Structure 1
Amino acid sequence: MSAAPSSDRTGSQSLLDALLAAGVDTFFGVPGGPIIPLFDAILRSPRARLVESRQETHAAFAAVGYWRATGKVPAVVVTAGPGATNVVTGTVSAHLEGVPMLIICGDVAWEGSGARLLQSMGREGVGIEEMLRNVTRAMVRVTSARAAASQAMAALRAARNPGHPGPSLIVLPMNHGVATTGPAQIAWNPVSTAEHVEESVIIDAAERLARARRPLVVIGAACRPHAEAVERMVEALNIPFMTTPQAKGILSEEHPLSLRNAGMAASWWARRYTAGGVDTALVLGTDLDDCSIGPTHPIGPGGVLIHVDTDARVFNRNIPTELMIAGDLATFARQLHDVAKRLNLRSLNAAAPLAEAKRCSPFDAEGFREDASPRVAPHRVIADLERAAPGATFITDIGEHMLFALHYLTARGPDRFLIHLGLGSMASGICSAIGYALGDRSREVVCICGDGGMQMAGSELLVAIKLGLRIVYAVFNDARYNMVYHGYRQLFGRNASWDTPCIDLVAWARSFGATAALIERPGEITAELLDRLTARGVPVVLDIRHDADIRIQGAGRVEALQQMSSLSSPA
């Protein structure tokens, strides 16, 4: 595809035209001085969509949600100085989750670099390139108005690299953004890494898995775009699978081979199966961090770990690995499926340990769906939400509520559950829900979050209202940092309150123009309630006063860290 802009246009317009031609048409951000020429170009273009966020990192989180819903690369546009420094957390989160996006940062006139100019982002000022060097795929500083388009395309190409996708930084000095330039045409072609793995390696992996006494497949978040290929592979091998927390739902948790999610807030099926000592495990698309391992170690003593990822740096990072395969995940899954079918390499040993693991409930509280405790239990809240919004996409923020969402929700597909655990930043889910709902207006979005996260990012509710997005914010309102509260007591054997005054979130939400309801007892969240509250076409806030002292056994961050610290070092 190509961009052929007209003559006598600015560097900002040239850059925007190139991005629009390459499919980047949605821009999240907060306006400000040095970047305002690009905002002007966006506002005047009928093909560009601007989402004006309330804070820059929140804009990046929303952009991540948009990419999850659409697969289209978004851009986050921020001004110099505090705009650039505010976006760092969201950029790091996108980096750790491998989300392709563009961070377009304004700067003061480049010729002034070295003088004392307010908000200078160059080497003599804030140094935004140095600040983001480790978390971006490319860093491009626009050197002239005529080069703006081609330099933007270089940054986009790096962000889209399928072998290592992530954010790229474009710095646009204001003088180049307003300077005029002539016409230019840019040809752009996507990068492909669909290389095949040697068949002897595929056969070796298939044979090891087929003859294993207790085999296992671990599915990571990088498999999300390849759910169909991974499912066919698992079924051909006839091997049980579990997902990392970030991969929950990539394959339906109602699949007969599913052990549900592993790691943090792991199901009891996954815990029981891995406790028996897995002798051969195939791990796809995850770096096996502490949140992914937790109480469900994917390989037993003396077992064989086969690790497949596009990024070879993850191999042997946390667990000794015998067979390491760097390559495209979908291509590998298809090759393994074909070999297993052709050579009839199908596990006959996994059925018995799988059935044994599933003899009991996968849940910490087996009867959670009908828990009638007068003060609503958090697991009952999850059950009521699932019944009230059966077709929704559930997005969880970070906090104690996250553990209940991971453990008790049943995700039935790759578009049914999202969590941002690459960085684990509070407010990520609250903002991501906006981007997701914007990208897919056909689906109801339910964001499970806490009052702490709402205190950080609640102003983004104004963005959701302005856009008319169908989002239900189910806020676990316990007036404290509940995960910190329980973790502190668990680690140190004493209490610290970590509390705040209890906020009336119903009154707060209504003051913004949203609809809201107070939830105190089981069964109050119903489809009828949600239908009534969403009828106005604005977001909904549920102020949920739950029993904050209920926990999931051995499921939290403290346990995950303790599990990792006890692992033996690789030989």
Structure 2
Amino acid sequence: MNGARWLAQALVAEGVETLFGYPGGTIMPFYDALHSAPGLKHVLVRHEQGAAFAANGYARASGRVGVCVATSGPGASNLVTGIADAMLDSVPMVVITGQVPTHLMGTDAFQELDVFGMTLPMVKHSFIARRVEDLPMMVAEAFRLARSGRPGPVLIDLPKDVQIADAAHLPAHASLGTDPVEMPKDASLHEALALISQAQKPVIYGGGGIVLGDAVQAFRTFVDATQIPTVLTLKALGSLATAHPLHLGMIGMHGSRAANLAVQESDLLVVVGARFDDRATGKLAEFAPNAHVVHMDIDACEIGKLRHADAGVRGDIATTLTKLTLPCAAHLHGRHGTARKAWRAQCQQRARQHAARYDAPGDTVFAPALLKRLSELAPEAIVSCDVGQHQMWVAQHWRLDDPRKHLTSGALGAMGFGLPAAMGAQESMRNEGRHDAQVICVSGDGSIMMNIQELATLKRYRLPVKIVLLDNQALGMVRQWQELFFEKRYSEIDLSDNPDFAAVATAFGIQAFHVDKAADVEAALHALLAAEGPAFLHVAIDTAANVWPLVPPNRNNAEMMDDSPMDAAAPSPTHAADAAHALPA
């Protein structure tokens, strides 16, 4: 029994069933220990970034802690993007990295890298094991911290000599579980109730904290009881079903017109687990200018951070919503009931008036229509997105009924996320016994090339992920911004020399299809979903296609651009500096 074998057994005791990784020199003792760790499955990715994103997707889809492993030096540094993504989107992960022996630390030894220092700004906590006796406390604390409160990633840096040290004297691992969740204080609930009862134009603004706090059902009950029009952030999509009559759509830069206008005209925002992200608020100084704010969050640091909260309610979101549901419903159906009813009708009318249309002219593939139809054909599927235009089209047009079915790199916006995250989600479904669960990766021709090597992982482990590649032969979102805000000075966005993606997928041993005509989309989608094992659908779309609507940089959310060239909200070229500052990945 050495340190590495003790760690492997500790992971099993923590309930870990799958970890994603790539071996190397300083982590070899741990990989040797995997031989004697029944119940612990290792998925060999083809790049360490794939390991971090796969663990990330595993955690997002399941709500459990994702685990990834890499060696020191370049192995550890290749994990960094996935760690940062987990921190910014509050994803529970434990990251294990090998390190040179303790007596070589600080000597610039082969593949030595200060991963502890490098990741300090992007983890909830970091550990370096200096002695084998450190392991019981570190492993228990790592999983406790990753799960508790606002979730996030925790790093364990493991020197090689600690891995091979005698651990026979160590106690069996004991999990610390999760910290008790703080309950909301009665005084803050009364303040919130007072503001909600006085509002005539209230809007619920739901964020990613809803799913993180296991509050989806409580949130839906609150919306139904209060009958308040509701908008959602990118990470909250699915917390209220797309078809729900009170759901006005996504808020923000590529949000719906109905959602953005409702927020801008509201007199109260009931903010549930959201953080006033710049992509949601637009120009913050002009965001919901007439609204008071009730802000519910588990993290005290978020309340009042960017927008003053007239009533801040810190604590468990599910409990907060449950305690407020009946009192709020009673007040809202009394005083100001007529005004609120008219406000609700106005919001719903706007949602109908500005609903997306799917009758695009021409015979080419219209991406929003394809994605809407695919979500209808696979209503139970988990969809994992990369970053770019296709990500926004999924957010706008995919029919969602569960936030854990929508995996997307929100705050970091990391290209290359989609494919490995889908792998992790598929593996999590296997561990839950849902072997027939459908996972779909929607990617773009720019993003797919970031981690295309993971097609080999799909094939090896027979993970039946279905990949839809929207190919416009450009870095589409950057191209769109250069068209709108840089006077069509297109710079380094041309991907017209893309490979034959269907041939590439076939070379990896994955069945591939191609479609470039709208009339063939239905048959192509059926073929993709019916394929055994992993499958790849290459979709050729128009290079000039843009995502609409769009809130320009340094504008408020009411100043949305659409596809009309005469749109009054279109910014002048003098806003190019603002556009450059806000340019998406």
- Taking structure 1 as the reference length, the TM-score comes to 0.90
Question: Are 2:197 and 2:332, in contact at CA under 8 Å, matched by a contact in 1?
Answer: no
Q: How does 1:17-166 map to 2 (within 5 A)?
A: 17-120=9-112, 126-161=113-148, 163-166=149-152
Question: Are 2:515 and 2:540, in contact at CA under 8 Å, matched by a contact in 1?
Answer: yes
Question: Are 1:66 and 1:438, in contact at CA under 8 Å, matched by a contact in 2?
Answer: yes
Question: Are 1:515 and 1:534, in contact at CA under 8 Å, matched by a contact in 2?
Answer: no
Letter of the 1:141 partner, please give it: I
Letter of the 1:233 partner, please give it: F
DSSP 3-state at the match of 1:172: strand
Letter of the 1:357 partner, please give it: C
CA–CA distance in structure 2, aligned partners of residues 231 and 411 of structure 1: 14
Q: Using the TM superposition, give the Cα deviation of residue 284 of structure 1 relative to its aligned residue in structure 2, in angstroms.
A: 1.2
Bigger Cα displacement from structure 2, 294-303 vs 262-271 = 294-303
Q: How does 1:263-282 map to 2 (within 5 A)?
A: 263-275=252-264, 277-282=265-270
Aligned length: 547
2:250 to 261, 277, 283: 261
Question: Are 2:223 and 2:230, in contact at CA under 8 Å, matched by a contact in 1?
Answer: yes
Gap regions ≥5 residues in structure 1: 1-8, 121-125, 567-571
CA–CA distance in structure 2, aligned partners of residues 543 and 296 of structure 1: 39
Q: Using the TM superposition, give the Cα deviation of residue 342 of structure 1 relative to its aligned residue in structure 2, in angstroms.
A: 6.8
CA–CA distance in structure 2, aligned partners of residues 376 and 365 of structure 1: 20
Q: 1:141 to 1:505 in 2, by over 3 A?
A: same
Q: Using the TM superposition, give the Cα deviation of residue 340 of structure 1 relative to its aligned residue in structure 2, in angstroms.
A: 2.9
Query: Aligned pair 1:173/2:159, yes or no?
Result: yes
Bigger Cα displacement from structure 2, 182-191 vs 478-487 = 182-191
Q: Using the TM superposition, give the Cα deviation of residue 529 of structure 1 relative to its aligned residue in structure 2, in angstroms.
A: 4.1
Letter of the 1:449 partner, please give it: S
Query: Aligned pair 1:288/2:284, yes or no?
Result: no
Q: Using the TM superposition, give the Cα deviation of residue 350 of structure 1 relative to its aligned residue in structure 2, in angstroms.
A: 3.0
CA–CA distance in structure 1, aligned partners of residues 297 and 553 of structure 2: 23
Question: Are 2:126 and 2:155, in contact at CA under 8 Å, matched by a contact in 1?
Answer: yes
CA–CA distance in structure 1, aligned partners of residues 364 and 274 of structure 2: 38
Deviations 1:517-567 (A, max 9, x none): 1111114233x64554455532111111112312233426xx25654979x
Q: 1:515 to 1:353 in 2, by over 3 A?
A: same
Query: Aligned pair 1:352/2:366, yes or no?
Result: no
Query: Aligned pair 1:450/2:441, yes or no?
Result: no
Query: Aligned pair 1:521/2:513, yes or no?
Result: no
DSSP 3-state at the match of 2:485: helix
Q: 1:210 to 1:373 in 2, by over 3 A?
A: farther
Deviations 1:437-495 (A, max 9, x none): 11114321122110111111111111112222222211111121111111122222132
CA–CA distance in structure 2, aligned partners of residues 324 and 255 of structure 1: 27
The residue that corresponds to 2:424 in the other structure is 435
Deviations 1:15-60 (A, max 9, x none): 1212211212321111111001112212431210111111112211
Question: Are 2:208 and 2:236, in contact at CA under 8 Å, matched by a contact in 1?
Answer: yes
Q: 1:149 to 1:201 in 2, by over 3 A?
A: closer
Deviations 1:91-130 (A, max 9, x none): 000001111111101011111223341112xxxxx32111
Q: 1:10 to 1:48 in 2, by over 3 A?
A: same
DSSP 3-state at the match of 2:345: helix
Question: Are 2:140 and 2:176, in contact at CA under 8 Å, matched by a contact in 1?
Answer: no
Letter of the 2:236 partner, please give it: A
Q: 1:386 to 1:218 in 2, by over 3 A?
A: same
Q: 1:85 to 1:45 in 2, by over 3 A?
A: same
Query: Aligned pair 1:547/2:535, yes or no?
Result: no
Q: 1:288 to 1:324 in 2, by over 3 A?
A: same
CA–CA distance in structure 2, aligned partners of residues 262 and 298 of structure 1: 15
Q: 1:43 to 1:496 in 2, by over 3 A?
A: farther
Letter of the 1:165 partner, please give it: P
Deviations 1:61-105 (A, max 9, x none): 111111122222121101001001111111000001111111101
CA–CA distance in structure 2, aligned partners of residues 256 and 536 of structure 1: 35
Question: Are 1:280 and 1:299, in contact at CA under 8 Å, matched by a contact in 2?
Answer: no
Q: Using the TM superposition, give the Cα deviation of residue 298 of structure 1 relative to its aligned residue in structure 2, in angstroms.
A: 9.7
The residue that corresponds to 1:490 in the other structure is 484
1:383 to 355, 359, 372: 372
Bigger Cα displacement from structure 2, 470-479 vs 311-320 = 311-320
Query: Aligned pair 1:248/2:240, yes or no?
Result: no
Q: 1:310 to 1:111 in 2, by over 3 A?
A: same
Deviations 1:171-197 (A, max 9, x none): 111111112221413433323343332
CA–CA distance in structure 1, aligned partners of residues 332 and 193 of structure 2: 10
CA–CA distance in structure 2, aligned partners of residues 288 and 330 of structure 1: 20
Q: 1:540 to 1:365 in 2, by over 3 A?
A: farther
Query: Aligned pair 1:409/2:403, yes or no?
Result: no
Q: 1:524 to 1:344 in 2, by over 3 A?
A: same
CA–CA distance in structure 1, aligned partners of residues 249 and 530 of structure 2: 34
Q: 1:264 to 1:297 in 2, by over 3 A?
A: farther
Letter of the 2:138 partner, please give it: Q
DSSP 3-state at the match of 2:414: coil
Q: Using the TM superposition, give the Cα deviation of residue 144 of structure 1 relative to its aligned residue in structure 2, in angstroms.
A: 2.0
Q: How does 1:290-369 map to 2 (within 5 A)?
A: 290-294=278-282, 300-340=288-328, 348=337, 349-360=339-350, 366-368=356-358
